[in-house]
A = this chain, B = another copy of it.
Amino acid sequence: MDFARHDFSQSLRNAGLRVTVPRLAVLTAMAEGSPHVDADAIAEAMRARIGDVPRQTVYNVLRAFLEAGLVRRIEPAGSRGLYELRVGDNHHHVVCRRCGATADIDCVAGRAPCLEPEETGGFLIDEAEVTFWGLCPACRGLTSEGGDATGRRESATNHIGRGESDVG
């Protein structure tokens, strides 16, 4: 599975990071998997690729990538942290209340902060993080089954990533 190894190695070096097997495996897993994955899903993908990996290694690698700006972390309310390779633009996200599927929403402004409140309460604001909530295409067809799209959000403890939408 060396087809993109060189590119990833170069990305790591460019970011000032050493090239290691776990790091390449994380990058490959993120590039080949769904665009928003949690640490657990990454660990599982790594396991299929390079064998068992300690959870701590996954978190170490992801933290290093975060600090180097290689990945971005989001954390929709009620779900675990999700990591994505799409960095540099200031896009937003839409999350399905029912299955937790997550997709990207382009930001019109393109850079942070894309919104400026009229009254900031004295805060110096540098980013507006927007999360849209609703129902994904698949779940829209199931609304009669007890869905409450107009009420509070459902507990989003589903396996996010499993129901990942590819609409982004």
Contact = CB atoms under 8 A, between A and B. Distances in A.
A117 B140 contact: no
B121 A165 contact: yes
Interface of A: 66-67, 69, 73-75, 77-78, 81, 92, 94, 96, 103-106, 108, 113, 115, 117-137, 140, 149-150, 152-153, 165, 167-168
Nearest to A103: B121
Copies in the complex: 2
A168 B121 CA distance: 6
A132 B125 contact: yes
Nearest to A135: B124
B152 A124 contact: no
A120 B94 contact: yes
A104 to B, nearest CB: 8
Nearest to A77: B75
B133 A130 contact: no
B125 A134 contact: yes
Nearest to A72: B152
B130 A94 contact: no
Given A75-B77, A133-B127, A135-B124, A106 B96 contact: no
